[in-house]
Structure 1
């Protein structure tokens, strides 16, 4: 949580750790809780490919006797009833239920929703000539689209946005915000159980495997998917816009130059991936990894960001990655982000960026690049704000519809 971790030097910090410790570094979490940080690309691939040796079951942790009830990382590491900590065949069936429900999202419907909400948000700022693209755009658009896809009305989805962001930010409204999001999801699922309709919620409830899980478990998984789908997508939008506004390789793309939005988004997943460090995996027995002794019950924190910059894989980080999509930003193995969820996140982010650049073609930073501040999170990578200026323009036609 030091200054190097909270600014643009984070990539260099990962490399310094790699040079000092190799691909597996001993670190401490708040409260001097020991943990391994997996820095190496191949080592992270190995850990996530072996769920028998490196389990997602946090109940295996050998540090539980030393963890106080108010430990700040319990929401990220603690025992939870969601799909994130389910293992074995039960996880396979639960993941299939979620993936199938998401896979049925029509990509044209997804783009239409994303365009519509993007236009509405831009209508709210386009006449001013300035805006914060994080607070007023990136942190709103994914939640609106996801709520619509799951089955919420426009009004209900809009009401969820501040609560979802409060939950993710961990501020004073996090707990009541979480309770309100859970209550809204529970109400929606209860209504869909009685009267099925279009949307992911109905498909989750009426899947062939839905009888294997309680109503409460489906509520939990729907909450995980909305919250986990929103913030990384918001950061993907913000980080991509930052790259396009500050990097000379992408400056031309703002006016239709040689590097496209898709290329900028791909570059961000290598250089500033929204999901940086994820807890985690727990060793089921004593083992060796990267020449180090890992004891049964040890926690391994997965550093997707460090693995993407592994000097054994990317010796020259200044080289443009082009269309290489071998990044580990969505995880790997049976607990990786479901492929349909990745497609949905990409659809929302790409549409959001394209609509913004179409509507505000001369958008530019309102501050220096050095003045941009990253949120203080060890797990996610995103800007606290992105102040921009642009020529004021009229609102779109048809009340925000493209």
Structure 2
């Protein structure tokens, strides 16, 4: 929702007068309904407003989104191309998620050779993680988290499980000290929410990654941050810091919300309950259906037109902000003419974006491993998990960019602590 103090930061063009504001109460209640309304009114590309009445164009169509993410010359990544950039104050709460901030130093918003080199370095560093070890770490952390709550008979699964497990695994992979986990969850959540604490959340992430950069420069180890620091591309300290922020925020929040959305669907949709609990559909395939229907990354910012661009039914002026409607594109009726019909077997979803700026394969693999292991361990230990409130009372996180649960209260049969033997043969 737009805050009163952030109204009217720029002069609105005629194309955006009367446009809806992303992040208002209707959007948070049901973004899919808002996307459908926009599609009916405007077609595959719609004018929208962000906090402070900042105009942007939201791409809703699957074909149009493929066009935008493929043509990186026309729909470019550098925030310096934004014609409104100098008019937006530095304290704008959406800056951390739009162009990486006024300075635009993030890997996500680089172009050409610089992007290929930095993205390649991140991909190589992530590829160095042993997938067997990742799975083992996921299971160990998941067991510890379930053990901490299994005796209670109730839990809030977002705060106590889904939001913690990915940051524990990602923190281990990057080399972040374990005592930073809860603060990292809070900072990433604040940044994505885009509210009063967004900038403070971003600053905390920056300080944490700066400390990690200092450590790996002085005492490199066998972690992602150390491999990235040693990559031949030769990142500066600030570039390394920014690329680590991208890696942990993208790896944590999307994975946590993917897990939460999957568990939520399992608890309210018998078809997904069968898939996860009774094994009628492989967990990995069931999770991909969640990406189609309830993807955690709803909207991604941004692209900027390098010249006037015809897209869908509109011509977008040069220097305008273009938002990727990933969730809307996954539900495009031209791709899925029958609403509610699954896309089993197809991986044409755009949850990881598309094109040269899409999520690297090692990161996708790690996310699927974390979510799969997390759900399998949870259901193995707490097989009678059920919602502790009516489905309509489950709240969603107040962010434009993500579709994830704010809380997920559950009940289950309490179980006694698991006895773990340090070694040898236990008495029986």
Fold conserved between structures, TM > 0.5:
yes
Q: 8 Å contact 1:119–1:396 — kept in the other structure?
A: no
- 1:29-178 matches, within 5 Å, as 29-77=50-98, 78-79=101-102, 80-157=104-181, 160-169=184-193, 175=199, 177-178=201-202
Q: Secondary structure at the match of 1:72?
A: coil
How far apart, in 1, do the equivalents of 2:224 and 2:394 lie?
37
Q: CA, structure 1 residues 377+171, in 2 after alignment: closer, same or farther (shift >3 Å)?
A: closer
How far apart, in 2, do the equivalents of 1:399 and 1:97 lie?
41
- Matched residues, number: 398
**How far does residue 289 in structure 1 lie from its aligned partner after superposition?**
1.2
Q: Does 1:356 find its partner at 2:378?
A: yes
How far apart, in 1, do the equivalents of 2:253 and 2:421 lie?
27
Q: 8 Å contact 1:148–1:157 — kept in the other structure?
A: no
Q: Does 1:395 find its partner at 2:414?
A: no
Q: CA, structure 1 residues 38+352, in 2 after alignment: closer, same or farther (shift >3 Å)?
A: same
How far apart, in 2, do the equivalents of 1:253 and 1:265 lie?
10
* Match in the other structure for 1:319: 341
Q: Secondary structure at the match of 2:372?
A: helix
Stretch moving more, 36-45 or 19-28? 19-28
Q: CA, structure 1 residues 290+162, in 2 after alignment: closer, same or farther (shift >3 Å)?
A: closer
Q: Secondary structure at the match of 1:124?
A: helix
Q: Does 1:264 find its partner at 2:323?
A: no
**How far does residue 73 in structure 1 lie from its aligned partner after superposition?**
1.8
Q: Secondary structure at the match of 1:52?
A: coil
Which of these residues, 283, 306, 324, is aligned with residue 302 of structure 1?
324
Structure 2: state its 5+ residue gaps: 1-22, 424-428
Structure 1: state its 5+ residue gaps: none
**How far does residue 155 in structure 1 lie from its aligned partner after superposition?**
3.9
User: What do the CA deviations read for 1:6-59 (whole angstroms, capped 9, x no partner)?
Assistant: 22x322321221122111111122222221110100000001001111100111
How far apart, in 1, do the equivalents of 2:132 and 2:381 lie?
20
RMSD: 2.1
Q: 8 Å contact 1:53–1:284 — kept in the other structure?
A: yes
**How far does residue 219 in structure 1 lie from its aligned partner after superposition?**
1.1
Q: CA, structure 1 residues 317+397, in 2 after alignment: closer, same or farther (shift >3 Å)?
A: farther
**How far does residue 378 in structure 1 lie from its aligned partner after superposition?**
1.3
Q: 8 Å contact 2:162–2:259 — kept in the other structure?
A: yes
How far apart, in 2, do the equivalents of 1:269 and 1:325 lie?
9
* Match in the other structure for 2:5: none
How far apart, in 2, do the equivalents of 1:37 and 1:398 lie?
52
Q: 8 Å contact 1:116–1:400 — kept in the other structure?
A: no
Q: TM-score, normalised by structure 1?
A: 0.93
Q: 8 Å contact 1:28–1:34 — kept in the other structure?
A: yes
* Match in the other structure for 1:24: 45
Q: Secondary structure at the match of 2:58?
A: strand
Which of these residues, 206, 225, 229, is aligned with residue 201 of structure 1?
225
User: What do the CA deviations read for 1:56-98 (whole angstroms, capped 9, x no partner)?
Assistant: 0111112224323332322222332110111110110000000
Q: Secondary structure at the match of 2:376?
A: helix
Q: 8 Å contact 1:283–1:294 — kept in the other structure?
A: yes
Q: CA, structure 1 residues 379+158, in 2 after alignment: closer, same or farther (shift >3 Å)?
A: closer
Q: TM-score, normalised by structure 2?
A: 0.88
How far apart, in 1, do the equivalents of 2:314 and 2:191 lie?
37
Q: Does 1:13 find its partner at 2:34?
A: yes
How far apart, in 1, do the equivalents of 2:384 and 2:216 lie?
45
Instruction: Tell me: higher relative CO, structure 1 or 2? Use CA pairs within 8 A at least 6 residues apart.
Output: 1
**How far does residue 176 in structure 1 lie from its aligned partner after superposition?**
5.0
Q: 8 Å contact 2:154–2:409 — kept in the other structure?
A: yes
